[in-house]
Amino acid sequence: MTQMIRKQIYIQPAQDATLKQRAMMLGVTEAELIRRAIDRHMAVLGPGVRDMSAWDREKAFIAKRMAVTPRPGPRRFKREDAYEERLKRYGR
């Protein structure tokens, strides 16, 4: 058996109830169920560390777009015209 490291976590009462029920249903301990959930979660993330600079670039883009002031005057189009054009394009 591999060495285990003890961790203490806090979960909500509803999570506790679900954890107990699912562990009993699967015939495993709650700790085993938590370990499996961690493994599944990490598998979804994939290997390595995510490129957090991508998020920094996205935040900069959002800030830049938010700083743009709207053009003065009324819109040059009607919203209904845009919907109608899309309906024609997709044949509905």
Residue range 4-16, pLDDT digits in tens: 999 999 999 999 9
How many Å apart are CA 11 and CA 17, to the nearest integer?
10
Distance of CA 49 to the CA centre of its chain: 16
Please check the confidence at residue 53 and state whether its pLDDT lies above 90.
no
Evaluate whether residue 51 is within a structural domain: yes
Domain total of the chain: 1
Q: Would residue 46 count as lying in a domain?
A: yes
What average pLDDT does the structure give for the chain?
87
Structural domain for 33, as ranges: 9-67
Contacts of 43 (CB under 8 A, 6+ apart): none
49: which DSSP letter?
Answer: -
Decide if 39 is inside a domain: yes
Give the pLDDT mean for 21-46. Answer: 91
Residue 88 placed within a domain:
no
Query: Is 44 inside any structural domain?
Result: yes
More confident residue, 88 or 17: 17
Question: Is residue 85, in this structure, part of any structural domain at all?
Answer: no
The dihedral region occupied by 79, where left means phi > 0, alpha psi between -120 and 50, and beta the remainder, is alpha
Question: Is residue 92 domain-resident?
Answer: no
Whether the pLDDT of residue 54 is over 80: the answer is: yes
Higher pLDDT, 39 or 71: 39
Phi, psi of 48 (to 5 degrees): 80, 180
